[in-house]
Structure 1
């Protein structure tokens, strides 16, 4: 898996996690491989931590 794939996977996973938590009215549609629709508020600090963690080899 290349760097771009890791970052893309981390972004999608974190946005889905935030949407499932439901506290911010976030809705995510990521049916297509390279496109997604995001509606609602995103916690950028948590998103950034997820991306950095994926680059550092974390879960």
Structure 2
């Protein structure tokens, strides 16, 4: 269960970042991701921490 929540949080955040900056980040896939570009690591870490802590 925790692994699934983490996976959903990571994929969701990477896809959100890609939607916000399509010229600098592209994300393809769902179970295996192909990522091209720059990732805002601070935002990704916050989403993962929130998922582990039981946040939205």
TM-score normalised by L of structure 2: 0.89
* Greater share of strand: 2
Instruction: List alignment gaps of at least 5 residues for structure 1.
Output: none
Structure 2 unmatched ranges of 5 or more = none
Instruction: Determine the C-alpha separation between the residues in 1 that align with 2:22 and 2:55.
Output: 25
Higher helix share: 2
8 Å Cα contact 1:24-1:42 kept in structure 2: no
Scaled by the length of structure 1, what TM-score is found? Answer: 0.85
Alpha-carbon displacement from aligned partner over 1:4-37 (angstroms, at most 9, x marks no partner):
111110000000010011176100002x4x2010
Number of equivalences: 56
